[in-house]
Structure 1
Amino acid sequence: MKVWEPCRGRTKNLRTESRAGPEKNAAGALRHEEKHEISPMDCVILRSRLRAALHADPHGDNGRYRVRSLYFDNADDKVLREKLEGAPYREKFRIRFYQGECSMLHLEKKSKLIRLCAKLSEPMPEAMCRAVLRGDYDALREGGPLCKELLRGIRTQQLRPRTVVDYEREAFVWQPGNIRVTLDSDIRAGLSPERFLSPGVPEPTAAEAVLEVKYDAFLPDFVRDLVQLPNRRTAAFSKYAVCRRFG
């Protein structure tokens, strides 16, 4: 089953282009992104509310699917430090696939500007990914613009495959406003990047679950009420940062 995450913005950009800001085009418009760390019980409550009011993502089995990503960082933990220090603009590269189908890989660049996010994505052949895992980074020359940008990061920032992040995602959508609400649970960290394409589920497991709300210009009150939980504040939660606690 072909599965992918339609996180790309489909409306006009929310900010004018800046040399310091994220790249923006039809597949990389800036969107609002809010994240909350939640408990397993919160997840049960939210799932019941969201199923009753929103539509399940049509790309998954009742909106549910497994996600696996390989994140890049350097020996100085540049990407991790920028996240922990709250840098106003930051970006990270990852290779991702869904439902264990490693024959359908995508290279993605996720950019954050305060609470706005943008994502650029392009297909990556499995053979190219395996070459990268072997350390043959010149294979990226044969890819698209994003592959070439990653290659520049490998050369200038010494980016390398660092951590595998694997989790279960349940996604809900509301077309007006291009709204997407996801519940990410069973978050697992893989400490061996070279095993990114290997079958099986990485260990150990992070206990946290994450609620993410993404939208273009505004979030309707009824959706905000759906995801409201007592004593929960919006936070710049990162599954990558959580999984880095294990190595």
Structure 2
Amino acid sequence: MSQKLKFRHELKFFINYHQFYTIRQRLKNLMLPDKNVGPTGEYHIRSLYFDDMHNTALHEKLGGVRDRKKYRIRIYNVEDKIIHFEKKIKKGDFIAKVKESLTRDMYESIMAGNYEVLNRPDKPLMMELYNEMKHNLLRPKVIVDYVREPYVCHNGNVRITFDKELRTGLHATDIFNKELDPVRAIDDNLMILEVKFDEYIPDYIKIALQLEGLNRQSASKYVICRKFLKFNTWEDY
């Protein structure tokens, strides 16, 4: 990849709503809301995850492979103003992300099976995706849908997000379908707390989070939704 990768720490936790209200109350005095939030302090994320003919991303995660990658198309608030095709790279507890913008027409072409729109030698990620789709049958697998409440702190470049109402679109693959009606993929009382940072977390944020008392989890939203799909629709991996 010609884009220089910037790896960051990423920690994930399952928390319940009682923990959420407690932690959020502490953080509100220490961190700022992300500039992209709406009036409620949140925004909606919908991603379409891809995997190859061997379900490599799924099986590597389930198998505990520490260095791996995932591909997804991501949109916000079910709008097409921003459409990104992203590659998320994981090395142990570190993550990096590279992405390219798509137009709505490019998205529709990809979904129709016309991968030539990605045949862009001047854009390494697009060429990687093009080759994965042609040679490894990289295809859409599952929609992951949730509401995010994000906070940021420039000291340490810390980003803390509360990801609520994790849902999946089952066998649907059109992320722009406003009638999708995705179904809940985890317990109603649970959400995912994600903590991302560069080199360190300031002590005052560590104290507010009290991470030692939380339920650290490693399952990705992609895996949670694929497993939900398998157990509720008899999908075969």
**Which aligned pairs between 1:1-247 and structure 2 lie closer than 5 A?**
25-26=3-4, 28-61=5-38, 63-142=41-120, 144-206=123-185, 207=187, 208-228=190-210, 231-247=213-229
Give the % identical residues. 35
Q: Which stretch shifts more, 204-213 or 166-175?
A: 204-213
Question: Does the 8 Å CA contact 1:140/1:148 hold for their aligned counterparts?
Answer: yes
- Which digits, 9 at most, give the CA deviation of each residue in 1:35-90, with x for residues without a partner? 11112222222222222221110111254100010000124321111111111100
In structure 2, distance between residues paired with 1:221 and 1:147: 40
C-alpha RMSD of the superposition? 1.9
Normalising by the residue count of structure 1, what TM-score does the alignment of the two structures yield? 0.84
Question: Does the 8 Å CA contact 2:48/2:173 hold for their aligned counterparts?
Answer: no
- Which digits, 9 at most, give the CA deviation of each residue in 1:17-43, with x for residues without a partner? xxxxxx5845x3001111111122222
Residues 221 and 201 from structure 1, CA distance in 2 versus in 1: closer, same or farther, beyond 3 angstroms?
Answer: farther
Residues 181 and 201 from structure 1, CA distance in 2 versus in 1: closer, same or farther, beyond 3 angstroms?
Answer: farther
Q: Report SS of the residue matched to 1:138.
A: helix
Matched residue, 2:235:
none
Segments of 5+ residues of structure 1 without an aligned counterpart are 1-22
State the Cα distance separating 1:116 from its structure 2 match: 0.4
Segments of 5+ residues of structure 2 without an aligned counterpart are 230-237
In structure 1, distance between residues paired with 2:33 and 2:46: 20
Question: Does the 8 Å CA contact 1:166/1:202 hold for their aligned counterparts?
Answer: no
Q: How many residues align?
A: 224
Q: Report SS of the residue matched to 1:82.
A: helix
Counterpart code for 1:225: I
